[in-house]
Homo-oligomer: A and B are copies of this chain.
C-alpha cells in the first residue's frame, strides 16, 4: 500500500505532516510518497530529527504550494506546479494507491474531479466528513463539494455514503436519511421531493426517509444526505455551536476559585468528553466518487491527526471502495449483486 501525501498542505505543513508521516510509516505498515520542495523537506527533517524516517520515503520534488487563499481552480492552472497538483497527478498516473492532503478543500475537490477524474457513472463527488452524535459518528454527504445539486446527485451521495459507512467504517446496514425541514415525505423544496422519491425507490439502500437536523446529533441516522450548500453550512454551524458552547463552559469554570476547583475535579472526564466530540479523531474526510482514493486531512491537523487520517486513507484504499461505488451508483437493474 503506497500513499501519496501532500507535504505542504495545511496550517502546520510541512513539520506536522512530516511527523505524522513518520509515525504512520512505523505503525501502519504503509509506504509513503511525499510531494513538495525536496530541499525544504530535507531541512525540516533535519530540524525535527527525522532524517532517517524521510530517507525511507519517496519524494516527488516540486517548487510550488497551493494556499488557502488560492482559487480552487488554481490547482489546474497557476498552481499546477504545487505539491497538491503534483500529488493528484501522481495518483492519476498510478504512482501510489491513494492521495491525502490537508490543503485547500475546494482545490482538492476540483483536482479530484478534473485530474483524478470521477468514477464512471458518478455525477458529482462528495466531501463526506464524520461528525459526532450521541453514540459514535454520522456522515454528512455532501459536506460542501457540490453546492448546486440535482436530485440524482443526492441519490448518489446516499449510495456512496452508505457504501463508505459499511465497507470502510464497519457500520452494519447504515441508515440513510434525507436532511429536510420535516419528517413527512411531502416536506421541503422541489429538490428534496425528487430526491426523496429516488432514494425511496432504491431497495438496496436502508433509506429511513426525511430527518430533521435537530435529531441528527441524537443518532437520527448514519448518513445524512444533503446538497453541498446546506451540508457545508451544517458542517460549519455544527463546529461553531459546539465550540462556542465549549468556550462558554470554560468561561464558567474559570470564573472563580471555587469553580476552578470544581473543574479540576471533573477535568479527566471532561477531557474524555471533549475527545468523544472531537471529529479530528478520524483525521479528515474522503472525497467520495473520485476514481482513486482522495482523502482530505483536517487543515489544522497535527501529527497524531495526520496519522489517524493516513490510517483511514489506507483502510479506504484497501476496502476496494472505488469498485464498490462504481457498482453502487449503477441503476438498480444493472447491479451485479442485486
Q: Spell out A's residues near B (CB within 8 Å).
A: 133-134, 144, 147-148, 179, 181, 188-190, 192, 212-218, 226, 228-230, 232-249, 251-253, 255-256, 258-259, 261-263, 265-266, 269-270, 273, 276-277
The residues of B that contact A261 with a CB separation of less than 8 Å are 262, 265
6 A-B pairs whose Cβ atoms sit less than 8 Å apart in the complex = A213-B237, A216-B237, A217-B243, A233-B233, A237-B237, A241-B241
Report the bound CA distance from A111 to B252 in whole Å.
Answer: 43
Contact A214 B239 (CB under 8 A): yes
Within the complex, the shortest CB–CB distance from A183 to chain B, in Å, comes to 11
Contact B213 A240, beta carbon cutoff 8 Å: yes
Contacts of A248 in B (CB 8 A): 134, 273, 276-277
The contact of A240 among B214, B229, B276, by CB within 8 Å, is B214
Chain B residues within 8 Å of A252, by CB: 266, 269-270, 273
Say whether chain A's binding surface is mostly helix, strand, loop, or mixed. Answer: helix
Using A233-B213, A245-B277 as known contacts, say yes or no to A144 and B181 having CB atoms under 8 A apart. yes
B147:A181 contact, CB within 8 angstroms: yes
Question: How far does the Cβ of A279 sit from chain B's closest Cβ, in whole Å?
Answer: 12
Copies of this chain present: 2
- Apart from A179-B233, A261-B265, A262-B263, list 13 A-B contacts with CB within 8 A: A213-B235, A213-B240, A214-B237, A217-B240, A217-B241, A217-B243, A218-B243, A230-B230, A234-B234, A241-B241, A248-B276, A258-B266, A262-B262
B236 adjacent to A217 (CB under 8 Å): no
Q: Is the CB of A181 within 8 A of B213?
A: no
**Residue from the set A217, A218, A232, A253 with the largest chain B CB neighbour count within 10 Å:** A217
Pair B236/A238 contact, Cβ less than 8 Å: no
Asked whether B259 lies within 8 Å of A236 as measured between CB atoms, the reply is no
Contact of A133 among B213, B234, B244 (CB under 8 A): B244
Report the separation of the CA atoms of residues A96 and B277 in the bound assembly, to the nearest whole angstrom. 49
A179 to chain B, nearest CB (A): 6
Query: By CB atoms of chain B within 10 A, which of A190, A258, A259, A261 has the most?
Result: A259
Q: Are B258 and A236 in contact (CB under 8 A)?
A: no
CB-defined contacts of A249 to chain B, threshold 8 Å:
249, 273
Q: How far is the CA of A249 from the CA of B217 in the complex (A)?
A: 14
- A144 neighbours in B (Cβ, 8 Å): 181
Instruction: Please name all residues of chain B whose beta carbon is closer than 8 Å to the beta carbon of A258 when the two chains form the complex.
Output: 265-266
Q: Which of B232, B240, B246 contacts A215 (CB 8 A)?
A: B240
**Contact call B255/A236, Cβ cutoff below 8 A:** no
Please name all residues of chain B whose beta carbon is closer than 8 Å to the beta carbon of A270 when the two chains form the complex. Answer: 252
**Nearest-Cβ distance from residue A2 to partner chain B, whole angstroms:** 33
A131 CB to nearest chain B CB (Å):
9
Give the distance to chain B from A189, nearest Cβ to Cβ, in Å. 5
Q: How far is the CB of A54 from chain B (nearest CB, A)?
A: 35
B residues near A236, Cβ cutoff 8 Å: 181, 212-214
Whether B240 lies near A147 (C-beta < 8 A) is: no
CA distance in complex: A262, B226 (Å): 41
